[in-house]
């Protein structure tokens, strides 16, 4: 499971994390947090003709953060692209 959650402090920020593990190669199946050391990730936010690309940066031991220039509309399409330190990559899309 991959979580993209708005920051409680700022509606311009996206946080990505994998707290429960998954079968997608990004984590083992245990419930422990996964280190994001060496991960690279980006989020594309599309709302109509407006597009913004965010580079996510490491945050703590197991998080990635990025900050949008303006608030993210509830109906925006969001695409996350992520690559692990081992070179495994994946993409997930969220649409209204």
Instruction: Give CA torsion, residues 56, 57, 58, 64, to 10 deg.
Output: -20
Residues 47-88 pLDDT 10s: 999 999 999 998 888 899 999 998 988 889 999 999 999 999
Residues 5-48 pLDDT 10s: 555 555 555 555 555 444 445 555 556 788 899 999 999 999 99
Across the beta sheet with 3-6, the strand order is 3-6, 13-17, 63-67, 50-59, 40-47, 77-83, 89-94
Extract the tokens encoding 51: 């597009």
Contact 62, 92 (CB under 8 A): no
Task: State the number of CA atoms in the 13 A half-sphere of 93 facing the CB.
Answer: 4
Q: What CATH number does residue 50 fall under?
A: 2.60.40
Supply the pLDDT for residue 21: 47
Q: What is the count of structural domains for the chain? A: 1
Element (H, E) at 92: strand 89-94
Residue 79 β-bridge partners:
44, 93
Identify the domain containing residue 84 by its residue range.
3-94
Supply the pLDDT for residue 8: 54
> Does 91 score more than 70 pLDDT?
yes
Supply the pLDDT for residue 44: 96
Q: Of residues 93 and 11, which shows the higher confidence score?
A: 93
């Amino acid at each position: 499971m991959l979580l993209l959650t708005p920051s409680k402090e700022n509606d311009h920020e996206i946080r990505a994390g994998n707290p429960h593990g998954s079968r997608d190669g990004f984590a083992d199946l245990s419930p422990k947090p996964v280190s994001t050391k060496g991960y690279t990730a980006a989020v594309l936010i599309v709302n109509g003709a407006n597009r913004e690309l965010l580079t996510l940066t490491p945050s703590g031991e197991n998080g990635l953060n990025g900050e949008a220039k303006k608030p993210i509309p509830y109906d925006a399409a969001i695409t996350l692209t992520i690559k692990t330190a081992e070179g495994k990559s994946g993409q997930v899309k969220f649409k209204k």
